Structure formats: C-alpha cells, structure tokens
Amino acid sequence: GLPDRALVGRGEARFTQPSAESLVLTLDLPNSVVLPFGVPRDARLPLNLWEEPWNAVTIFPSGQEGGPPVFRPGVGPTTSSGVERLSLNAHPPNGGRTALDFHIRVPEEPCELVSAVGIRDGAKTGGVGFEVAVNGTVLWRKALPGPDGWHAVEVDLSAYRGREVLLSLITDSLGDYSFDWAAWAEPRLVPRGRAAAR
C-alpha cells in the first residue's frame, strides 16, 4: 500500500492524495526523506543504543541502499590507542558505507547523542569516515586516518523533540575497506548538557 507518513531531515512533510494510486509529498528543499516502516520505539533517557534494536544496511557508492552488510555489526569491547571501550562495531563495505538505523521517537526533553568513534588497534586501514544522520540528513561527520584513540561525538537532537525519526550511525570505507575496524563507543541519548563524552 501507499505510505501514510514521511520523515524529513528538516521542516515538515505534507502528503496529498490526488488519486487512489498516487501521493504527492510537499516539503522544503534541499532536504532528505525517509518512508518509515513499523512503529518507532519511545526513547526514554538515558537510552543506551547498543542495547536497542537496530537495522543494519549497506549503502553503495551510488547512494542506493542494499541488504545487510557483509561484515555483520555487533557489540563488544574495542581497544584504540590502548583504551578499551564497549562498542558498536560496524565495518563498512568496499567503496561503500554501513548504516545502523534506530527507529525511535525522540523524547520531549531536549537531548543529545553522545559517543566516541575510533578504529581498533592493529588496523592497517586507509581511513574510515563516521557520520550521524537523522532522517537521512547528516548532522555530524568526522574522518579518521587510523587507530589513534577515541574521538568525542556530541550531536544535539533538541530540534527533533517528540518526533519520530530514523537515527543512523554510519561508517564509510572512504574507498578501500581493508582493516576498516570502525567502532562507536557507548552511543547513548542523554539529557542535553548533562553528560560529557569521553
């Protein structure tokens, strides 16, 4: 059937249905659009994302999304520059990206995503890119050349208070994917301004 709602990176989306077989979606441009499936989980703070269900997808260089990644994402300890942290590990595919998508309803309370990104010690990588996106719109981006410790991530989600969103943690191979042992350390949603990422 036809979708009943759309999630957009900014502003609001409006559906009109000129016929039984078609829909028209009106929104501000430039923008991004996600057509959600299922029901979002209500986020209650603090929310440990590594304990929440996610959907992992491959994003090809063309931007087209595919099935599950070749390297299955998982939760476990990761050490970067000798410091071990519990992490969501998401090795990207060759020439593409891996997205861990969380379908949630952001709390009414102002909140932020806090985490740290790193590459596991011993990786002979050419570098990995990291992105945080909401409804397909990138809010934060960083590229790391190799395993050089943990780098703090803080992304304000206050603009999405009370809204259904698709929150994506994305790793990018930046070309060759050899040894791209990418990790998100303890990603969580917390009240805005009440926690500092390590």
Whole-model pTM: value is 0.90
User: Pairing mode, if any, of strands 47-48 and 182-191?
Assistant: antiparallel
The mean pLDDT of 2-28, rounded to a whole number, is 84
- Residues 180 and 161: their CA atoms lie apart, in Å, by 34
Query: Is residue 138's pLDDT more than 80?
Result: yes
Query: Is residue 4's pLDDT more than 80?
Result: no
DSSP code, position 65 = B
pLDDT band at 198 (very low <50, low <70, confident <90, very high): very low
The mean pLDDT of 172-178, rounded to a whole number, is 92
